[in-house]
Structure 1
Amino acid sequence: MTQAPTQDSGGMPLIRLRNIIKVYGEGGLAFKALKGFDLDIDQGDFVAIMGPSGSGKSTAMNTLGCLDRPTSGEYLFKGVHVEDLDRDERARLRRRYFGFVFQGFHLLPRTTAQENVELPLLYRGETATQRHAAAARALDAVGLKGWEHHTPSELSGGQQQRVAIARAIVSNPVVLLADEPTGNLDTQRSEEIMELLWKLNHEQGITVLMVTHEPEMAAYARRIVRFKDGLLDTDMRNEPMMLRQKTASAEAVNGEDA
């Protein structure tokens, strides 16, 4: 990498995007998916990214996750210009700082939960002992202690998504990117996954960026960003669902004591 991100980037936000434009194709077939937007994300934030189909939210997520590079504009991560990095440098950045969770769980079907979680560490060249210990901690963190040796076919949809989240956090990422993480789950399992994402954000300080089309899921975020026609339409702070529930519980208790 041309310049390694530093822990102290002079008071700048963790992520800073400026005039981000993304164009697919050329000439008369060119399509401008992103038309120029600015966005700052601080360490420890929880941002829900919303918008209708074709609004640019998925392209914005791919840009934030260094999976794609903008056609023009600036992307600074910990003060480093990501748009100047080549493919290999972006891959190293992703391995070190980012974890990914997708709507499809993308688990290896004949591989145990523990082995699935260990994969990112295998790619980083860590020893078997290190991988086993880290995977066990990650599975414990998502509530799957005791399920290490089960394959995906032996797990529910919610449990499979928990394995996918454990795999995303096993390398201690700074940022967790979740693309429709509850899209394949029923209401109860969706709420369990959102409570888990909140816990990772609230207790471990992991910055969470989540694409969702469901307002009920976005309600868990600290911020809700909406895209429309390739532009950032609104960016609003939100009182997260978990804090609202805690406040309501405290008020109920105080009411009973009165």
Structure 2
Amino acid sequence: MSEASPPLIELRAITKTYGEGQAAFQALCGIDLVIRAGEFVAVMGPSGSGKSTVMNLLGCLDTPTSGHYLFRGIAVETLDRNQRALLRRHSLGFVFQGFNLLARTTAQENVELPLLYRGETAEARHAAARAALKCVGLDGWEQHTPAELSGGQQQRVAIARAIVTQPLVLLADEPTGNLDSKRSHEIMELLLALNRDQGITVLMVTHEPDMAAYARRIVHFVDGLVDSDTQHAGSSAVGAQAEAPCC
């Protein structure tokens, strides 16, 4: 990854204020951040530090109070709601702590959902969903509902749903927060494989240092500011784990 390559994402003097007057709270206080294509970045910090706010901005789920957010050179803060929705739909994938799967819907149907919103044909949706589930190690589990899957398997379905659209960026918010240690490391190995083998840029919020250790860069927020931004050895600092399946 060349330092001379243009940024995939650039935040310039971004602020975010909630409320007005004496009740106003400044969640972000003028941050600058550059993310290049192919990076794996862990975002850390205490509660109230601004890390979740910045992830919401990066995911086009919110807009800054001031400053500039450039995605592949496009000024995101100038886009209207529909344009931001299109950017999310075509360039971003989301993974959450709580899986957010439809309870009475099969794994394959859950994974197909983003493609349904994009108007893909049934044949294309079926093929893409099966490929995504195979990529996360769930070949043969397509017709199982969330209740028939373990927590780790449910998170794999959620990751398959996030990557089925072939996004440029995967935004993961505490992706191991509901999992035990073994399953957490399996999910991190999977995210690492997606980053390494498919070139998906991964931005992950986590409170857990052992999960952040998988990233090659750690950005630490304190009081709405970037407190530190350090390159990291990445997975080499993590104990050897079984390699996660990936396509």
TM value normalised by structure 1: 0.90
Aligned to 1:57: 51
1:101-147 alpha-carbon deviations (Å, 9 max, x no partner): 00001100110000000000000000000000000000000000000
Structure 1 segments of 4+ aligned residues over 3 angstroms from their partners: 242-246
The 1:42/1:87 distance shift into structure 2, 3 A limit, reads same
- AA aligned to 2:100 is H
From 150, 160, 175, the counterpart of 1:156? 150
The residue matched to 1:37 in structure 2 has which SS? strand
Aligned to 1:217: 211
Could you tell me how far apart the structure 2 residues matched to 1:152 and 1:76 are?
37
Is 2:95 the counterpart of 1:77? no
Is 2:110 the counterpart of 1:116? yes
- Using the TM superposition, give the Cα deviation of residue 11 of structure 1 relative to its aligned residue in structure 2, in angstroms: 3.9
- Using the TM superposition, give the Cα deviation of residue 243 of structure 1 relative to its aligned residue in structure 2, in angstroms: 7.0
The residue matched to 1:139 in structure 2 has which SS? helix
Does structure 1 retain, via aligned residues, the 8 Å contact 2:213–2:237?
Answer: no
The residue matched to 1:147 in structure 2 has which SS? coil
1:34-66 alpha-carbon deviations (Å, 9 max, x no partner): 001100000000000000000000001101111
Could you tell me how far apart the structure 1 residues matched to 2:5 and 2:149 are?
44
The residue matched to 2:15 in structure 1 has which SS? strand
Q: Gapped runs of 5+ residues in structure 2?
A: 241-247
Aligned to 2:140: 146
Q: Gapped runs of 5+ residues in structure 1?
A: 1-9, 247-258
Instruction: Say which is worse superposed, 24-33 or 202-211, in terms of deviation.
Output: 24-33
Aligned length: 237
Question: Which structure has the bigger radius of gyration?
Answer: 1
Aligned to 1:94: 88
Identity across aligned pairs (percent)?
A: 71
1:59-86 alpha-carbon deviations (Å, 9 max, x no partner): 0110111111100001000000001111
Is 2:167 the counterpart of 1:168? no
- Using the TM superposition, give the Cα deviation of residue 166 of structure 1 relative to its aligned residue in structure 2, in angstroms: 0.1
User: How do 1:200-211 residues align onto structure 2 when only pairs under 5 Å count?
Assistant: 200-211=194-205
1:151-172 alpha-carbon deviations (Å, 9 max, x no partner): 0000000000000000000000
TM value normalised by structure 2: 0.94
- Using the TM superposition, give the Cα deviation of residue 219 of structure 1 relative to its aligned residue in structure 2, in angstroms: 0.2
Could you tell me how far apart the structure 2 residues matched to 1:91 and 1:122 are?
15
Could you tell me how far apart the structure 2 residues matched to 1:25 and 1:74 are?
20
Could you say what the CA RMSD is over the residues aligned between the two structures, in angstroms? 1.2
The residue matched to 1:67 in structure 2 has which SS? coil
The residue matched to 1:224 in structure 2 has which SS? strand
